[in-house]
Amino acid sequence: MNRHTRKDLHARCQALYQRMVEELREIEDEGMRRDYAFTLLCRLVFAYFLQQHGLLDGDPDYLQSRLVRCRGADQSFSLFLACLTYWGFGTPAEERTGFAKPLLGKVPYLSGSLFYPHPAEHLQSGLGTWAVPELSNQVFEEALAAFRLYRWTLVEGEDEGTPEGVVTPAFLGTLAEHHVEHRKQTGSFYTPAEICNYMVEQTIPGGIPRYFEVITGRHCDSLDHLLGTSDARDCALLLFVVLPSLSVLDPACGAGDFLVSALDRITDIYQRVIERALGLHHPLLDGWLSDFDGAHPCREFGLRKRVACRNLFGVDIQQTPLDVAKLRLALSQLSCVGRAGEFLALPNMDYALPRGNSLVGLDRITEEEQVLLASIYPGYDVLVAKRNALVRFYRGAVGNPVTLAAMRAEIDDCRAVAYQSLNRVLLARLGEKRAQRRGAGTGRAARSRTSEPEFTLESLQRLDPFHYAFDFDEVMNKPFWERLDGEEAQVVQIDGRFKVRFGPERVPPGAS
């Protein structure tokens, strides 16, 4: 969206946000009050995007009509909005209560992990017992009236190329950017979308031919050269090995601009590979594509889900931008769905977008760390394997928020145990490096090293370390083929050369 539209809409939303903060006086803690007002605003903006895309009961005025109902029944629209995002988007239609179905109408199930109850809300056993802080419906009337002044689209675009008055999902990033408090203290800086797009264009298209060369030994000058000369075997390698094991990691992802740009670019590359494969008429590729199309409402939606589920990773020190990044990635996946439906399940992105201080922690488990872990927690490898299996299952799980919350609790328990050991390993490694620095050199520099403060386990934990080695174990510590779908491709390395087999039994000519 262009800068004038962004500035104008943000000013209106800022005024609405301040109104919400002023009315939510029953929340005594000011920080929680502001955070809850921001949560309500994000819920409303997200739902409005879906409404304008035709995904809410097929009604372009869905939110307005529900607001009229709430006003007529003297009910809180903020309670309806909470039910829509939590029970509607988060619960498969067949699991919704008899009360929720007529209330919500035909709205799509997206993910049981996309929205969580805010700490200011009190969720007990059902819709009727979910208490939310009181907020007048007049605020929402003003918000929806303001939103009507613009045209809303799920298609991201360059700021300068977007027409006046058009709102894209990048606006959610604008809201997050201005909501983050104490930006100077935390060092928060949001990279402009133009730079994110440039970085993606300079890395992903050039990295794929290099990755392809590592596996095959065949050099290609560019992605265009690779795609233009690919045979059936090459297309299968790209679809089932290279692209699925490509990893894009943003260590300070904020509201997800870089990840959204990467999602668009990798999806586009998938489309180009498929276009090439269709012209080759190979039974393996044609059969896979037929099955793939049959499993999704449209091909692009399936590809965007595939990329979001397998290729994208991000970290941020604050939770609010991460929540917004999840919403933006969800809207990007839904941008190609052209009709209303009740089931548009998205991958659960919680463990692809964890929170933590990415400047402090272990990035890989080296031999030295492995020795330390063996003495501190001998069962670490078993714990990691269990956690990885749980995350793989959770990522594609379909279920209501309560069911997924129970799964997350088990995964989080594994993380808590692992972090106790990893923090101790990190502390030991920092102590070793400090001792090495003390023993190196003479004079003033050496004397200054002796005055360095010593870390304790408690002081290290206060830094909120993020251990890539655990949270992204399969990316950081494992060979790429361990992340592949065994039904699509199996890869082994023998004497420095890769052997590839496609599908459980079918093998294109020359594939292995």
Tokens of 325: 């990044």
What integer pLDDT is reported at residue 432 of this predicted model? 85
Q: What's the mean pLDDT in 328-333?
A: 96
DSSP 165: T
Amino acid at 424: R
What integer pLDDT is reported at residue 338 of this predicted model? 79
Is 90 exceeded by the pLDDT of residue 423?
yes
Q: What's the mean pLDDT in 253-257?
A: 92
> Which residues share a beta bridge with 122?
131
Weakest mean pLDDT among 119-128, 150-159, 216-225: 119-128
* Long-range contacts formed by 368-373: CB under 8 A, 24+ apart: 368/429, 369/425, 369/429, 369/469, 372/424, 372/425, 372/428, 372/429, 373/421, 373/422, 373/425
Give percent of the chain above pLDDT 90.
73
What integer pLDDT is reported at residue 5 of this predicted model? 92
CB count in 10 Å sphere of residue 265: 18
Q: What's the mean pLDDT in 325-351?
A: 91
* Sign of the dihedral through C-alpha 155, 156, 159, 165: positive
Q: How confident is the model at residue 132 (pLDDT cuts 50, 70, 90)?
A: confident
Would you call 490 helix, strand, or coil by DSSP?
A: strand
What integer pLDDT is reported at residue 444 of this predicted model? 58
Weakest mean pLDDT among 42-56, 81-95, 269-283, 293-307: 81-95
Q: What's the mean pLDDT in 292-317?
A: 95
Of 365, 360, 324, 348, nearest in space to 251 by CA: 360
What integer pLDDT is reported at residue 121 of this predicted model? 87
Strands 166-167 and 151-152, how do they pair?
parallel
Q: What would the pLDDT profile of 441-451 be if each residue is shown by its tens digit?
A: 555 555 555 55
What integer pLDDT is reported at residue 180 of this predicted model? 66
User: CB under 8 Å to 463, separation ≥6 — which residues?
Assistant: 357, 360
Is 90 exceeded by the pLDDT of residue 183?
no
Q: What would the pLDDT profile of 42-84 be if each residue is shown by its tens digit?
A: 999 999 999 999 999 989 999 999 999 999 998 899 989 998 9
What integer pLDDT is reported at residue 128 of this predicted model? 46
Q: What would the pLDDT profile of 375-404 be if each residue is shown by its tens digit?
A: 999 999 999 999 999 999 999 999 999 899
Strands 248-250 and 312-314, how do they pair?
parallel
Of 11, 9, 92, 44, nearest in space to 342 by CA: 92
Tokens of 483: 């992340």
Is 60 exceeded by the pLDDT of residue 473?
yes
Q: How confident is the model at residue 339 (pLDDT cuts 50, 70, 90)?
A: confident
What integer pLDDT is reported at residue 127 of this predicted model? 44
What integer pLDDT is reported at residue 511 of this predicted model? 46
Would you call 500 helix, strand, or coil by DSSP?
A: strand
Of 169, 160, 152, nearest in space to 325 by CA: 169
Is 90 exceeded by the pLDDT of residue 263?
yes
Q: What's the mean pLDDT in 408-424?
A: 97
Q: How far is residue 308 from each of residues 174, 295, 301, 347, 375, measured CA to CA in Å?
A: 22, 17, 11, 7, 37
H-type alpha helices, 59-110: 62-72, 77-83, 100-104
What integer pLDDT is reported at residue 512 of this predicted model? 44
Q: What's the mean pLDDT in 258-262?
A: 96
Mean pLDDT over each residue of the chain, to the nearest integer: 89
What integer pLDDT is reported at residue 126 of this predicted model? 47
What integer pLDDT is reported at residue 252 of this predicted model? 93
What integer pLDDT is reported at residue 185 of this predicted model? 53
Instruction: Please indicate whether residue 94 or residue 412 has the higher confidence score (pLDDT).
Output: 412
What integer pLDDT is reported at residue 498 of this predicted model? 93
Of 456, 454, 499, 495, nearest in space to 481 by CA: 499
Cβ proximity of 330 and 256 under 8 Å: no
Q: How confident is the model at residue 156 (pLDDT cuts 50, 70, 90)?
A: confident
Q: Where are the domains of the chain?
A: 3-186, 190-317, 357-473
Is 70 exceeded by the pLDDT of residue 507?
no
Q: How confident is the model at residue 182 (pLDDT cuts 50, 70, 90)?
A: very low
Residue appearing with tokens 């800068």: 3
